[in-house]
Structure 1
Amino acid sequence: MMHLSYCTNVHPAEDLDGVIAQLDQFAGPARSEAELDVVGVGLWLPAELAHELATNETSRDRLRAALERNGLEVRTLNAFPYAAFHAEVVKLDVYLPDWTDRRRLEYTIDAARALAAFLPPRADGSISTLPLGWRTGWGPAEDEVATAAFVELVAALEQIRDTTGHTIRIGIEPEPGCILDNVADIVEWLGARSDVIDPEFVGVCLDTCHLAVSFADPTEAVTAIESAGLKVVKIQASAALEVLTPADPASREAIAVFGEPRYVHQVRERHADGILRVDDLDEALATLPGNGPWRVHFHVPLHMVPDAPLGATTDVLRTAVDAVVATRPTHDVHLDVETYTWSVLPEPPADLAAGIASELAWAQRELMGARIE
């Protein structure tokens, strides 16, 4: 069964009043405009708000009332950004605190406890988290601390299941430039620890923009996850920018306008003998030869086709969704539309709720088909 939602990390709200306002102003109107009876929201809860909702019944009641009046439900959370995801400059700060910092573990447990309080009866939940941390300064000692944190997390998730009846699964989200850069990395890391990190509770969040940027074959990636005894616990429906002829002046001019100061936009260039990797778009324009196609970590709205000579990797998204459904036909699949970049598009929309509605309608039509729930 497929469950469609859109991720609220597109909104800058950091407290309960702000989250409720965003549901009233954007999520409810988008659901109505997309003509959906009920739509999910993949809530982004900053750390302080996650703790508040995990510990305060009055706050939970307020949020529950806002969800109900807007025809919304919650089955998944985004616990990747810890806080300040819409600061003037985010860049590599989005990977802090990493999984060597106890604050990351406590935040994730708070998020799981909060999610359990909002799930529909007998439903399981999913939470996405960062792929350990950014790659620099990471070694065996950091790996050991992170492993221990996930062991403790599993124990907390077992307790939540035993007390609430809800199984909450954590999806580690591979991302270019991080410790777990791609699907192969996470399969290796979790596979080597399956004796201590229970794959019933910790699996993979498959962000299809990140998957595309890595130039991985989506069907092979999903097969590798399943063959390792792991689960795709959540799909983040997203598309990357693609530049087929990056050495062409018109292509370089077109992609350059997507460079902006808030978020990091990793770029990969494919060659017959390997992949060239840089950490941001300005670096790519300055250093990459442009002899092969580029894929750029910039989440473009799913229903929008970039003007030529640019393209988007929506075919990777479609193929990945089909592969997950084919490998898990009797399981719930959480499909969370994650386009957090509306505000940094070269031409931001005048009506964000209408843009979100168009994306949801596209996802309903193009990704879910007869599987719509």
Structure 2
Amino acid sequence: MSDDWEFGYCTNVHAGGTLQQALDSLDRYAVEVRDQITPRGRLPVGLWFSEQAVESLLSEDRASWLRQWIDQRNLIAYTFNGFPQGDFHRPVVKHDVYQPTWLCQSRAKYTQSLALLMKELLPEGRPGSISTLPLGWPHAPWHAEDFRLAADHLLSVARFLDRISQQRGSEIVLALESEPGCLLDSADDMLEFFEKYLLRGPDAHLARQYLTVCHDVCHSSVMFAPQRRALDSYRSAGIRVGKVQISSAIHVPWNEAADQPAAQKSMLQQVQSFCEPKYLHQTTRCEQNGNLEALSEDL
């Protein structure tokens, strides 16, 4: 991808388990954001479509219809969130958002389907990106053969993306998104996986071109990782950043209120409001010596 960054509005926070729900959300939210930011221009948007919605669009040959629908609203579909494969807006999601993992062929197939859809939606000559999960959640220990299998599936997608690039003349990249608690939850984990399993062998050149990192500012903050250090480490390793997601993380200055019981009580009440059944809200505590303690089960 070029060094010119393009900013867009992420829409997967809005309900969109079905195609019609996704379109309704774009009409309701993305169009309003466009009117506020660039009323006479076009707004780049990040889209999320469930596996069911994507297969429906491709099997019924409705991709060209969808592009026309998006164009009519002066939107540009330039990136996909390929992290949730199932319904991201059902009543309880929690750890199911990490299924299937990259051990499963179905994860690679879904990602390839997203690439086929993106190829039809992107304006000619324009690059695109698809973010995906950092392999999975460690419900059970992963061994070397597991990481190799996941890498094989990722490399198969890289080869697929290369074929698409040869056809359309501009590239679509896949971006692995580190997330607290996952198998790759930090820049160091991501670097190790790339260097050990992706950047070796006959397809290393394809891995460097089409397998990139999605740097999530919120996730990095939850891990108390300086943003610049993470990005510099990718640059030094020659790993491309294909996508950046900008959102906020909550910081609880507990030690600063050590002698203020009322303030600490208020902080706890605010944090407890995130204890709900639908999504995970990964939490990390940084001790005075710099050690991190994951509190993922607390919320």
SS at match of 2:213: strand
8 A Cα contact 1:203 1:233, kept in partner: yes
Give the percent of matched residue pairs that are identical in Structure 1 and Structure 2: 32
CA separation of 1:253 and 1:14: change in aligned 2, threshold 3 A: closer
Residue of structure 2 in register with 1:320 after alignment: none
CA distance in 2, matches of 1:281, 1:30: 35
CA distance in 2, matches of 1:33, 1:210: 28
CA distance in 2, matches of 1:142, 1:166: 32
Aligned length: 281
Residue 278, structure 1, aligned to residue 281, structure 2: no
SS at match of 1:243: coil
Alignment of 1:58-73 (within 5 A): 59-73=62-76
2:144 to 131, 140, 143: 140
CA distance in 2, matches of 1:94, 1:130: 9
Residue 183, structure 1, aligned to residue 200, structure 2: no
CA distance in 2, matches of 1:90, 1:245: 29
CA distance in 1, matches of 2:24, 2:149: 38
Superposition misfits of 4+ residues, deviation over 6 angstroms? none
Residue 83, structure 1, aligned to residue 100, structure 2: no
8 A Cα contact 1:79 1:111, kept in partner: yes
Deviations 1:202-246 (A, max 9, x none): 010001110100111111110000111101100011111110117
Matching residue's letter, 1:236 = Q
Matching residue's letter, 1:71 = N
8 A Cα contact 1:54 1:111, kept in partner: no
SS at match of 1:2: coil
1:100 to 98, 103, 107: 103
Displacement of 1:261 after TM fit?
Answer: 1.2
Residue of structure 2 in register with 1:156 after alignment: 160
Displacement of 1:34 after TM fit?
Answer: 3.0
Residue of structure 2 in register with 1:288 after alignment: none
TM (norm. structure 1) is 0.72
Deviations 1:256-298 (A, max 9, x none): 112211100111111214111121443xxxxxxxxxxxxxxxx
CA distance in 1, matches of 2:290, 2:223: 14
SS at match of 2:239: coil
Higher relative contact order (CA closer than 8 Å, sequence separation 6+): 1
Residue 30, structure 1, aligned to residue 33, structure 2: yes
Displacement of 1:8 after TM fit?
Answer: 1.8
CA distance in 1, matches of 2:223, 2:144: 25
8 A Cα contact 1:31 1:38, kept in partner: yes
CA separation of 1:273 and 1:65: change in aligned 2, threshold 3 A: closer
CA separation of 1:54 and 1:164: change in aligned 2, threshold 3 A: farther
CA distance in 1, matches of 2:78, 2:26: 15
Deviations 1:309-357 (A, max 9, x none): xxxxxxxxxxxxxxxxxxxxxxxxxxxxxxxxxxxxxxxxxxxxxxxxx
CA distance in 2, matches of 1:14, 1:166: 29
CA distance in 2, matches of 1:166, 1:51: 24
TM (norm. structure 2) is 0.89
Displacement of 1:168 after TM fit?
Answer: 0.8
Runs of 5+ consecutive residues of structure 2 not aligned to the other structure? 259-263
CA distance in 2, matches of 1:18, 1:119: 21
8 A Cα contact 1:169 1:201, kept in partner: yes
Matching residue's letter, 2:191 = V
Residue of structure 2 in register with 1:227 after alignment: 236
Alignment of 1:196-215 (within 5 A): 196-197=203-204, 198-215=207-224
